[in-house]
């Protein structure tokens, strides 16, 4: 493995690179030497020399349409590793997040996804939450709530606080009383069972039990089999998107081909799942580093709350407001893990 290249910039060159990166992030226009002369109180020739040096190092690139420079992928990386100063979260944004996080009626999963949706709205980027795979979810409780004589709501809760509810029609010849009784047997026998193993145990352990006392045991088992199958399927792909189309609002995606390409990648579940991380720190993956799309940046971190783990991620263009996104993710992570 090659040693990482060490680059030492002078004070003015560092400030110049920072100014160019932040100007391009904000204005989406190549930066020329004239616009920087007043800021640095030096001649245009001096600025041009420094810009040429930064270009030689690979931190800046020329565009075909202007004499100005834009940050390169390497330039963005140097910026986030050495020059970026995270912004303070505004009182308004903090209040939005705290309102959700302090709502005791929300289970953790819902609070996290709602907060990531807010962060997506604040930043205008796409947010993703990757929850646990069902193999890590353990059955905690099954509840049956009657709606009328023909329908019930089946509620399944896991140890991680994941809640799934499904409205189900009651099969002919089966009473609500029999369904409730079966749910009691399931709670007694299957609580603590990994979701992936529930269907097998339902067939091998629960079915023989209810066959002893209930005539319609096949129909009853099928009723719960369908409910668990639905839950397992959703748990396997426990992915939440916030502001899925926000990334399309960025100028980088104003061409039909680029739109089609990025939407296709966001719809590719296996590709999205690759964003998952176990890294406890907030990490920034720019362009070729992220294995998602070379024209994007992915900022992500993991969370772990009472054994419930997952990934928080923000996807945007390489020209991302890094100093705004990182504090928001950090605030959410620290709040839920405290």
Say whether pTM exceeds 0.85. no
Is the distance from CB of 133 to CB of 235 less than 8 angstroms?
yes
Residues 168, 252 share a domain = no
Closest CA to 132 of 240, 275, 238: 238
3 within domain boundaries? no
Q: What's the confidence (pLDDT) of residue 45?
A: 92
Residues 30 and 105 in one domain: no
Distance CA 29, CA 35 (A): 12
Measured CA angle at 273 (ends 118, 292), to 5 deg: 85
With respect to residue 317, please indicate whether it lies within any of the assigned structural domains: yes
User: Looking at the 3D structure of the chain, how many domains does it have?
Assistant: 3
Do both 150 and 187 map to the same domain? yes
Domain match, 148 and 170 both: yes
Distance, CA of 299 to CA of 314 (rounded, Å): 5
CATH of the domain at 61: 1.10.10.10
Judgement on whether residues 264 and 197 belong to the same structural domain of the protein: no
Q: Assess whether 288 and 142 both reside in one domain.
A: no
Residues 6+ apart with CB under 8 A from 52: none
The edge-to-edge listing of strands for the beta sheet with 139-146 is 139-146, 151-158, 163-169
Residue 273 and residue 149 share a domain: no
| In-domain check, residue 60 | yes
Sheet holding 296-305, edge to edge: 239-242, 126-130, 308-317, 296-305, 283-286
43 and 64 both lie in a single domain = yes
CA atoms within 13 A on the CB side of 312: 31
* Residue that is last in its domain, among 236, 253, 269: 236
Residue 324 belongs to some domain of the structure: yes
Q: Are residues 54 and 119 in the same domain?
A: no
Point out the domain boundary residue: 187, 206, 236.
Answer: 236
Range of the domain at 220: 135-236
Partnered with residue 240 across adjacent β-strands are: 129
259 and 171: one domain? no
Could you give phi then psi for residue 155, rounded to 5 degrees?
-115, 125
Would you say residue 5 lies in a domain? no
pLDDT digits (tens), the chain, 338 positions: 445 566 779 999 999 999 999 999 999 999 998 889 988 999 999 999 999 999 999 999 987 766 789 999 999 999 999 999 999 999 999 999 999 999 988 888 889 999 999 999 999 999 999 976 545 678 888 888 888 878 888 888 877 666 777 777 888 888 888 888 889 999 999 888 887 788 888 889 989 988 888 888 888 888 888 777 766 555 545 788 999 889 988 998 888 889 989 999 998 988 999 999 999 999 999 999 998 999 999 999 999 887 778 999 999 999 999 999 999 999 999 999 98
The verdict on residue 4 lying in a domain is: no
Quick one: tokens of 2?
């090659």
Of 83, 103, 118, which residue sits at a domain end?
83
Q: What is the CATH number of the domain that holds 112?
A: 3.30.450.40
Token representation of residue 247: 């990334």
208: CATH: 3.30.390.60
Judge contact between 214 and 183, C-beta under 8 A.
no
Domain contains 112: yes
* Residue 313 buriedness (CB in 10 A; 0-12 / 13-18 / 19+): buried
| Residues 56, 68 within the same domain | yes
| Residues 185 and 302 occupy one common structural domain | no
Is 2 within a domain? no
């Amino acid at each position: 493995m090659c040693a990482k290249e060490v680059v030492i910039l002078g004070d003015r060159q560092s400030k110049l690179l920072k100014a160019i990166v932040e100007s391009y992030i904000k204005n989406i226009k190549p930066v020329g030497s004239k616009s920087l002369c007043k800021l640095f109180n030096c001649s245009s020739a001096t600025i041009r020399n420094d810009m040429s040096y930064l270009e030689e190092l690979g931190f800046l690139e020329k565009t075909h349409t202007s004499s100005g420079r834009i940050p390169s992928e390497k330039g963005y990386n140097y910026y986030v590793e050495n020059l970026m100063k995270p912004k303070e979260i505004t009182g308004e944004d903090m209040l939005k997040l705290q309102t959700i996080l302090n709502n005791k009626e929300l289970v953790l999963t819902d609070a996290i996804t709602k907060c990531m949706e807010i962060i997506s709205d604040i930043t205008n980027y796409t947010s993703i939450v990757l929850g646990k795979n069902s193999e890590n979810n353990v059955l905690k409780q099954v509840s049956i709530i009657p709606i009328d004589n023909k329908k019930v709501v089946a509620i399944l809760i896991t140890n991680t606080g994941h809640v799934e509810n499904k409205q189900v029609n009651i099969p002919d010849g089966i009473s609500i009383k029999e369904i409730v009784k079966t749910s009691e047997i399931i709670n007694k026998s299957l609580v603590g069972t990994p979701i992936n193993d529930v269907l097998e145990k339902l067939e091998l352990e629960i079915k023989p039990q209810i066959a002893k006392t209930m005539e319609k045991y096949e129909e009853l088992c099928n009723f719960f089999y369908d409910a668990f199958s639905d839950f397992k399927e959703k748990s396997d792909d426990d992915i939440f998107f916030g502001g899925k189309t926000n990334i399309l609002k960025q100028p980088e995606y104003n061409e039909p081909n680029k739109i089609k390409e990025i939407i296709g990648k966001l719809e590719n579940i296996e590709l999205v799942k690759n964003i998952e991380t176990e890294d406890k720190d907030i990490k920034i993956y720019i362009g070729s580093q992220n294995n998602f799309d070379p024209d994007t940046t992915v900022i992500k971190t993991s969370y772990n709350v009472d054994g419930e783990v997952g990934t928080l991620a923000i996807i945007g263009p390489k020209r991302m407001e890094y100093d705004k996104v990182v504090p928001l993710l950090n605030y959410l992570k620290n709040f839920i893990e405290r």
